[in-house]
Amino acid sequence: MLSQVMAEGVAKALQRLTGEPYAREDVAIEQPASVEHGDYSTNAAMKLAKTLRQPPIRIAEQLKAALEEEGLAGGLIRRIEVVPPGFMNLFLDWGEWAKRSFSLPPAAPGKTVVEHTSINPNKSAHIGHLRNSCIGDTIVRMLRRMGSQAEVHNYIDDLGNQLADTVVGLLHVPLTASHDRFGDYCWELYSLTNKQYESNPELAAKRADVLHALEEGNSAVSWIGLLAAERIVREHVEEMQQFGIAYDLLVWESNIVREGFWATAFELLQRSPLFVRVTEGKLAGCWVLKQTAEETGETEHHADKVLVRSNGILTYTAKDIAYHLWKFGLFDNDFSYRKMFGSLWTTSGNGTKAEFGKADRVINVIDVRQEYPQAMVKQALRALGFEAQAEQLHHVNYGVVSLSPASARELGVDTSDGKGSYAMSGRQGIGIKISELLDLMERRIEQARSDHEGLSSREIAAASIRYYLLRFNMHTEVVFDLQQATELSGNTGVYLLYSCVRASSVLQKAQQVPAPESIGTLAKAEYALLRHISLWEDTLYTACRELTPNAICTYAYELSTLFNNFYASCPILKAEDGQRELRIWLTAKFRETLGDALQVLGLPTPERM
């Protein structure tokens, strides 16, 4: 990466100046917001002031001389400017930069298991679920682009309340409705069942019976639950494929229980003094994981976590703890597996052996509301003595997706209270199905486009929706507005795709991309574009380290804006000799860099649209 090369050059100069060893990791180097302050800057001289007992400005002048003696970072630095109180602004030689190739740092060894999506298999998916999937899939793409081994899991909660409610509905709630997909039928049925619970206590009581049946298995009720869940999961997986989202393994909660994983976890937990059976009070008969003083210090959750209820039913967190012990390879036993379709595998009660799990690092993409259960999984690992694994368990949380007042009204929600956003609710049947949004966006694009060559309107629609859900800050609540989400201009996926096509068109007309003999004085738009292109590897590295896919969106949008400014202000194919070659080359560098960013984001890189 360019920043590391620059830091290494400064580190060598520091060693020459002080006689002490320095590594590039010891050097703070950044790109200033203003181009007048250089392509990079460092405060290394200011940090040495106390040690050397000299004014920072004098140290900076000495460091500048040492950098020049060391060869200006292999010739990459063209000019150094020292400014008070001791900053050093570094200006690059772009001709030298163009001759170099910059590689990403080597990936950390070992396997990373990324779990994302994990939709309850009781009805069709809505747009809130899709934000999870887009974030998780982009993190996987980032890791793989960095050279890491990533394995993708989709956890299927086929023993939970939501599936139990749908099964209660299938067995006891009459509903005649026309739908193309089973999940859409269950969307309506699930809402209707929950509404009938309010006036029919006998129906509500059947949920506990169904939960027991699902957990025990081998009954007619459990088979109905399994068949319903499998059908809906297939629809979920097929739907995600339209957005370029894929999985390596589906892990079924029922297999965790029936294959003895929870039994093994329970035995291990009983050795910990933090796992106890409550004998009195409202939790009498429950097995709980007690909070440590560290956990209860500054958290909003102070209650001990129930893992096994007094009626013997396991909580979600209990099964999740067992799942994570398996993820990290801490069990001797393993699942059996079978192919579901294509390259997708699934856990199975009767299958074959395969190599899954045994992770060195685990990343779970789950919304911010699940912060407490995720913390309790980490607490359980620590309670069992698996401190190293607990340190390598990462929860990527994100803000939930809610509806704007306009979109909520369109769905029949009463918005007279004037709130700024309205939560989606499967129980109330309030939400926007992924399939409905995709159909709507496809129609919008089909009506707006004149050229129907290249990508289909549905592919463009899927890319647009994916980008919209990725571009927000991770912790921001996405207030989903149908009008805003289907816009085709501004910071949108369509804008990025058109920028890619525009560059491709220029390169097709140019026929060949000459290497520039030199890069002299650059026009303002040329320099701004080239400077941003040079940041790509650093941006990808930082986004991957911090697990922030939205940073890639910001980079790609700014890159596209700079290219379009360059395209508008600098003639390319009609430029004079010398300029023409440079600008064609710069267009090719943009196309290559944007194409890389789009692939990491899971968007296509079209030649035509």
pTM of the entire structure? Answer: 0.93
pLDDT tens digits, one per residue of 275-329: 999 999 999 999 999 987 554 444 444 578 999 999 888 899 999 999 999 999 9
> Can you tell me the distance from the alpha carbon of 332 to that of 264, in angstroms, rounded to the nearest whole number?
10
Question: Is residue 349 a contact partner of residue 408, using CB atoms and an 8 Å limit?
Answer: no
> Can you tell me the distance from the alpha carbon of 244 to that of 237, in angstroms, rounded to the nearest whole number?
11
> Can you tell me the distance from the alpha carbon of 547 to that of 117, in angstroms, rounded to the nearest whole number?
16
- Given a cut of 90, whether residue 498 has pLDDT beyond it is yes
Question: Is residue 304 a contact partner of residue 201, using CB atoms and an 8 Å limit?
Answer: no
Determine if the peptide bond prior to 55 is cis (ω within 30°). no
Query: Which residue has 């035995």 as its token pair?
Result: 267
pLDDT tens digits, one per residue of 196-250: 999 999 999 999 999 999 988 989 999 999 999 999 999 999 999 999 999 999 9
Residues 6+ apart with CB under 8 A from 223: none
Mean pLDDT within 137-165? 97
Q: What is the pLDDT of residue 18?
A: 86
What's the DSSP call for residue 70?
A: T
Q: What is the pLDDT of residue 410?
A: 84
> Can you tell me the distance from the alpha carbon of 56 to that of 83, in angstroms, rounded to the nearest whole number?
10
Q: What is the pLDDT of residue 236?
A: 98
As a whole number of Å, the end-to-end CA separation of the chain is 33
pLDDT tens digits, one per residue of 99-140: 888 888 888 899 999 999 999 999 999 999 999 999 999 999
- What is the band of 271 on the pLDDT scale with cuts at 50, 70, 90? very high
> Can you tell me the distance from the alpha carbon of 529 to that of 587, in angstroms, rounded to the nearest whole number?
9
Tell me how crowded residue 574 is: count the other CB atoms within 10 A of its CB: 8
What is the residue-wise DSSP string for 310-345?
TTSPBPHHHHHHHHHHHHTT--S---EEEEEETTEE
Q: Which of 57, 61, 96, 99 is nearest to 77 (CA)?
A: 96
- Given a cut of 50, whether residue 480 has pLDDT beyond it is yes
Q: Per 3-state DSSP, what percentage of the chain is helix, strand, and coil (rounded to 5)?
A: 50, 15, 35
Return the structure tokens found at 279.
């004998």
Q: Is 297 helix (H, G, I), strand (E, B) or coil?
A: coil
Q: What is the pLDDT of residue 296?
A: 43
Return the structure tokens found at 545.
């380290």
Any idea which of 124-138, 504-518, 546-560 has the lowest mean pLDDT?
504-518
Q: What is the pLDDT of residue 302?
A: 52
Pairing mode, strands 111-115 and 361-365: parallel
- Given a cut of 60, whether residue 153 has pLDDT beyond it is yes
Q: What is the pLDDT of residue 169?
A: 98
- What is the band of 538 on the pLDDT scale with cuts at 50, 70, 90? very high
pLDDT > 90 fraction of the chain, expressed in percent and rounded: 76
Return the structure tokens found at 94.
């772009």
Q: What is the pLDDT of residue 297?
A: 44
Q: Is 417 helix (H, G, I), strand (E, B) or coil?
A: coil
* All structural domains of the chain: 2-99 (3.30.1360.70), 493-601 (1.10.730.10)
Question: Is residue 41 a contact partner of residue 52, using CB atoms and an 8 Å limit?
Answer: no
- Given a cut of 90, whether residue 578 has pLDDT beyond it is no
> Can you tell me the distance from the alpha carbon of 477 to that of 369, in angstroms, rounded to the nearest whole number?
12
Tell me how crowded residue 5 is: count the other CB atoms within 10 A of its CB: 15
Beta bridge partners of 42: 29, 88
> Can you tell me the distance from the alpha carbon of 82 to that of 95, in angstroms, rounded to the nearest whole number?
23
Question: Is residue 468 a contact partner of residue 485, using CB atoms and an 8 Å limit?
Answer: yes
Any idea which of 61-70, 512-521, 597-606 has the lowest mean pLDDT?
512-521
Alpha helices by DSSP H, 358-492: 371-383, 387-391, 405-410, 434-448, 457-470, 482-485
> Can you tell me the distance from the alpha carbon of 609 to that of 599, in angstroms, rounded to the nearest whole number?
17
> Can you tell me the distance from the alpha carbon of 69 to that of 47, in angstroms, rounded to the nearest whole number?
21
pLDDT tens digits, one per residue of 420-448: 999 998 888 899 999 999 999 999 899 88
Query: Which residue has 């934000």 as its token pair?
Result: 131
Q: What is the pLDDT of residue 546?
A: 96
Mean pLDDT within 184-196? 97
> Can you tell me the distance from the alpha carbon of 3 to that of 129, in angstroms, rounded to the nearest whole number?
37
Helix (H) or strand (E) holding 192: helix 182-199
What's the DSSP call for residue 469?
A: H
What's the DSSP call for residue 121?
A: T
Q: Which residue has the higher pLDDT, 594 or 301?
A: 594
* 446: Cα separation from own chain's centroid: 29
